[in-house]
Amino acid sequence: MTIQLETPSRRGKPPRHLADLSAAERREVVTGVGQPGYRADQLSRHYFGRFTGSPADMTDLPAAVRDRLTTLLLPALLTEQRALTCDDNATRKTVWRLFDGALVESVLMRYPDRVTVCVSSQAGCGMACPFCATGQAGLTRNLSTAEIVDQVVAAARACVAGELAGGPARLSNVVFMGMGEPLANYDALLHAVRRLTTPVPDGLGLAQRHITVSTVGLVPAMRRLVAERLQVTLAVSLHAPDDELRDTLVPINTRWNVAEVLDTAWEFASTTGRRISIEYALIRDVNDQPERAHLLAQLLRGRLAHVNLIPLNPTPGSKWTASRPQSEATFVRILRAAGVSTTVRDTRGREIDAACGQLAASTRPDKPAKATAGSSQR
């Protein structure tokens, strides 16, 4: 399996959507068809504020222009292919079909104090980490800004409609921990973060602090993110404290090693004041030895960091499995004894293949792109 940093060439672009455009660009599109510019704000308010793109809901717009404007600015981007729930309906995975037939997944999780959606930034992934199901099929393509944002809007809509256990809720958190390497699709990711955090009507108005961007450690893109000075959480998928092992678990480590990745993470921490989340999947007899816990502690001691240990989730064809409870407990104890803040992630969605590393919807586009609008999830 080779690493793919560049996206393979693709047949066409996803249809243009208002979430791809700035407020000025949206107005231009609307005035371009002879409508007053404020109609763009009306559409945005429906989409970002009420999570709808359906002409029938837009009673403040003249009936005659609704279809026209929604076709222009709110084309259907995601069609629900399948939805699976578990945890008594507190966790729901949705498989979305994109305009070209590529499939991506997002996972919505309700907790006592928050509702989080885990979204995909690419169809497939080029990073080829051997323990992750998404990495096994390779990269199909980058998602557009709007294809990312629309996953969040769909989640917000499901929340207010009371589709999750516990009744109507507000979506509060977004984690870029679904399919793909978000920093390999930097521009779309960044625009998506802006759309998610700009107040209504130009965005969803979520708090920057409630957004987490997770990366394998693409150092140049991490540096760009530092320069944006966003108050998001940066998660680094480390999985090993030493280059020898990390080269095999996270192959891009051969390009940017542990020291470079962590140095850049500390730059992010010192620039933003935000604690770095260190992701570490515990794999039995692979990376869970006490020596590695000590080595990890040495790297993180005194740093603005928190370790998230993730018991390895099973993936098809992998010989690896989660650590024994005893090794996990020892690993946690060593880190904490060194003063490194550490928790073990309560993994959601294992039984519906929705947990970390299990998102594997076959991502290949089917036949040449069909018409883009048409059936929609709305």
Q: Which of residues 244-273 bind ligand SAH (CB under 6 A)?
A: none
Q: Is position 131 an interface residue for ligand SAH (rule: CB under 6 A)?
A: yes
What is the CB neighbour count within 10 angstroms for residue 373? 13
Catalytic residue among 118, 125, 159, 356: 356
Cβ neighbours of residue 180 under 8 Å, at least 6 residues apart? 104, 120, 121, 122, 123, 124, 125, 134, 139, 142, 143
- For residue 173, list its beta bridge partners: 116
Yes or no: say if 40 and 29 are a contact pair by the CB < 8 Å rule. yes
Yes or no: say if 327 and 282 are a contact pair by the CB < 8 Å rule. yes
Q: Which of residues 37-96 bind ligand SAH (CB under 6 A)?
A: none
Q: Is position 225 an interface residue for ligand SAH (rule: CB under 6 A)?
A: no
Quick check: is 356 catalytic? yes
Considering beta carbons, is residue 40 or 276 the nearer one to ligand SAH? 276
Yes or no: say if 143 and 104 are a contact pair by the CB < 8 Å rule. yes
Stretch 300-339: interaction string toward ligand SAH, x if CB under 6 A: ----------x-xx-x------------------------
Of these, 75, 138, 357, 365, which contacts ligand SAH (CB under 6 A)? 357
Of these, 132, 169, 240, 305, which contacts ligand SAH (CB under 6 A)? 132
Considering beta carbons, is residue 90 or 322 the nearer one to ligand SAH? 322
Cβ neighbours of residue 226 under 8 Å, at least 6 residues apart? 264, 267, 268, 271, 272
Q: What's the CA angle centered on 253, arms 248 and 255, to 5 degrees?
A: 130
Closest CB 306 distance from ligand SAH, rounded Å: 14
Distance of CA 23 to the CA centre of its chain: 24
Q: Which stretch binds ligand SAH (CB under 6 A): 76-84, 124-132, 196-204, 366-374?
A: 124-132
Stretch 179-198: interaction string toward ligand SAH, x if CB under 6 A: --x-----------------
Considering beta carbons, is residue 3 or 21 the nearer one to ligand SAH? 3
Q: Is position 279 an interface residue for ligand SAH (rule: CB under 6 A)?
A: yes
Q: Is position 215 an interface residue for ligand SAH (rule: CB under 6 A)?
A: yes
Yes or no: say if 151 and 117 are a contact pair by the CB < 8 Å rule. yes
Catalytic residue among 105, 147, 181, 279: 105
Q: Is position 173 an interface residue for ligand SAH (rule: CB under 6 A)?
A: no
- What are the helix (H) ranges across the chain? 23-32, 38-44, 50, 63-73, 133-136, 145-160, 186-197, 219-228, 243-249, 258-272, 290-300, 325-337
Yes or no: say if 52 and 378 are a contact pair by the CB < 8 Å rule. yes
Of these, 173, 237, 253, 342, which contacts ligand SAH (CB under 6 A)? 237
**Catalytic (active-site) positions:** 105, 356
Catalog residues that contact ligand SAH under the rule CB under 6 A: 127, 131-132, 177, 181, 214-216, 237, 279, 281, 310, 312-313, 315, 356-357
